[in-house]
Amino acid sequence: MSITLGVLLIGSSVGLIGLSLKSFNSVKQHLQANSLMRQTAEVIISLTQDNWHSTYDLTKATNYKISASGNTWSISSGQEISTINSIPYKRYFQVANVNRDTSGNITASGTDDPSTQKITIFLEYGNNYLSSSTLSFFLTRSENNKTLHQTDWSGGSGQTGPISNPGNEFDTSSNINHASTTGQITMTTATTTPAELVSSILDAGVSDGAGFNSLLWQGAFNTGGSVKFQIAFSNCSNGASNYPTCNTGTWTYYGCTNCDPTSCSTSNYYQPNPNVSCRFPTTGTASPQNYRYIRYKVSLSTTGTSPTVYDIIINWSP
Amino acid sequence: MFHYKIKNFRKGVAALITVLSLGGLIFTISMASAIISFWANQNIKSIRDSNKAFYAAYSGLQDALIKLERNKDFTGNFNLSVNTTNDVYTIVSFSSGQVTITSTSTLSQINKKLQTKADINATTGLITPTSTTELTL
């Protein structure tokens, strides 16, 4: 009887221990999988924050892997196939474009937003890679927000650029009073004929192109005044359209009526109220996304007194 | 003869007690181990979902930041679909020149809540994040 009981108890105990070991091994695999997924996510986020193009420039829906060399992580094509703690795994990720609707919300349809990408990480692990897991998230080009800000034009015309900080000068102007009061521009003669000021060529310094987010100005319309903007952009410092040869074309100015990114052309203008952001389009010929150089043209006109402009700001992300 | 039987009986009882004690102890430990591993296995899904919910909530913060850079006065709330339809809910609010973005993600009864605070320059609209933290629910 003792032997029978002993065999039963020990037998069932061995069975339970075997089950536990198998289960613990499974837990170990899954926990390790989570760590690997999280590591991949953090590396991708870090590399993207450092340089948007490190993920944006990748071919969409194609497998990529992260790899470490010394103290530096990098991205290359293919899958990472390795073993850690005796657990084999395949790890890779894909990048996808993201669309937004006219309100700027992420949607399945709509227009492409080159400043937003969807990352999906894949992990296959365990014997014969039978277990798998995915992790998805969105990244936006919102790190290290910067502005090209001009609040003084008293230095006068003649500074074509390119220049990273416009300082107090600009390229050309007509009927613009920039010197009477430091820190503002008005019309020299108040008239319905537009007075214009063309800025220097502003250099974002991002060789693969920056993300230009919005236009903002501070000032006042005054009585009957109008303030309108257009922007021109290029990867060539001379405004040419055939980068990198840069010998064809010149600066072409675009605007969008009512700041509507679907209503843009060379004959339209950005006309936001003072202190109201006007977002730039993300697609089409009027989109300044992923260009290095940008410049603005501001037009003042009035049926009464001249409008006053104190600040012109272009919000951008490297 | 009788003494011999008594002696064997005592030996048998002793053996039975020993087997029951040791076997019971081993069985109890094995059962506890099995229960713990079963419980741990059940929690794996929660850990995995927690990971997914965390990065979904992070997506909400990212989306809010680019919206603010495109419109410095952006406020209110919006939904975002990362793992499932509208699984992320993000609120953007202003107070004293500072914007607070709170993003909550829900996945299979797991909730993750992240919050970013950022300064907004009143003149230029420049966004400067000052902190990002995970909030307890």
ipTM for the assembly = 0.93
CB contact (8 A) between residue B51 and residue A5:
no
Between A157-166, A245-254, B5-14, the lowest mean confidence (pLDDT) is in B5-14
- Residue A234: CB atoms within 10 Å: 24
CB distance A173 to A198 below 8 Å:
yes
> Would you say residue B5 has pLDDT above 80?
no
Option in A9, A279, A280 nearest B23 (CB): A9
Alpha helices in chain A (DSSP H): 2-50, 53-56
Nearest to A280 by CA among A222, A210, A218, A220: A210
DSSP at B76? E
A131 in contact with B at a CB cutoff of 8 Å?
no
d(Cα B92, Cα B74) in Å, to the nearest integer?
Answer: 8
Task: Tell me what pLDDT residue B2 has.
Answer: 67
A125 Cβ partners below 8 Å, 6+ apart?
A: A29, A32, A33, A36, A87, A88, A89, A90, A131, A132, A133
- Interface probe, candidates A138, A151, A216, chain B, greatest B C-beta count within 10 A: A138
Option in B23, B51, B66 nearest A5 (CB): B23
B91-100 in b/e burial notation, b at 16+ Cβ within 10 A?
bbeeeeeebe
- Joined together, the tokens standing for residue A73 give 């992580």
Nearest to A297 by CA among A227, A205, A245: A227
Q: Is A41 left (phi over 0), alpha (psi -120 to 50) or beta?
A: alpha
A5-41 in b/e burial notation, b at 16+ Cβ within 10 A?
ebeebbeebeebbeebeebeebbebbebbbebbeebb
Fold of the domain spanning A146-317: Jelly Rolls (2.60.120)
Nearest to B23 by CA among A20, A1, A22: A1
Query: What is the maximal distance between C-alpha atoms in chain A?
Result: 115
CB contact (8 A) between residue A5 and residue B63:
no
- Joined together, the tokens standing for residue A129 give 């890679």
All residues of chain B having their beta carbon less than 8 Å from the beta carbon of residue A9 are 19-20, 23-24, 26-27
Distances from the Cα of A290 to the Cα of A161, A171, A309, B5, angstroms: 19, 23, 28, 98
CB contact (8 A) between residue B30 and residue A17:
yes
Q: Which helix (H) or strand (E) holds A167?
A: none
pLDDT digits (tens, 9 = 90+) for A75-133: 999 999 999 989 999 999 999 999 999 999 999 999 999 999 999 999 999 989 999 99
d(Cα A222, Cα A145) in Å, to the nearest integer?
Answer: 31
Task: Tell me what pLDDT residue A24 has.
Answer: 78
CB distance B134 to B114 below 8 Å:
yes
DSSP at A234? E
- Rounded to the nearest angstrom, the minimum Cα separation between A108 and chain B is 10
Q: 142-181 in A: which are within 8 Å (CB) of B?
A: 142, 145-147, 149
* Residue ranges of chain A that CATH labels 2.60.120: 146-317
- Rounded to the nearest angstrom, the minimum Cα separation between A317 and chain B is 9
pLDDT digits (tens, 9 = 90+) for B37-95: 778 777 888 889 999 999 999 999 999 999 999 999 999 999 999 999 999 999 999 99
d(Cα A124, Cα A80) in Å, to the nearest integer?
Answer: 10
DSSP at A305? S
- Rounded to the nearest angstrom, the minimum Cα separation between A248 and chain B is 31
pLDDT digits (tens, 9 = 90+) for A259-302: 999 999 999 999 999 999 999 999 999 999 999 999 999 999 99
What 3-state class would DSSP assign to A206? coil
Q: Which helix (H) or strand (E) holds A125?
A: strand A111-125
Task: Tell me what pLDDT residue B1 has.
Answer: 61
Task: Tell me what pLDDT residue A144 has.
Answer: 94
Q: Which residue in A has a C-alpha nearest to residue B69's C-alpha? A: A213
DSSP at A272? P
Option in A2, A12, A23 nearest B37 (CB): A23
Q: Is A78 left (phi over 0), alpha (psi -120 to 50) or beta?
A: left
- Joined together, the tokens standing for residue A121 give 């990480």
- Residue B124: CB atoms within 10 Å: 20
pLDDT digits (tens, 9 = 90+) for A16-53: 788 778 777 788 888 899 999 999 999 999 999 999 99
- Interface probe, candidates B29, B55, B90, B116, chain A, greatest A C-beta count within 10 A: B55
d(Cα A303, Cα B48) in Å, to the nearest integer?
Answer: 64
Torsion of CA B99, B101, B102, B105, to 10 degrees: 170
d(Cα A140, Cα A113) in Å, to the nearest integer?
Answer: 9
What is the pTM (predicted TM-score) of this model?
A: 0.90
CB contact (8 A) between residue B63 and residue A140:
yes
Q: Which residue in B has a C-alpha nearest to residue A49's C-alpha? A: B62
Q: Which helix (H) or strand (E) holds A146?
A: strand A146-150
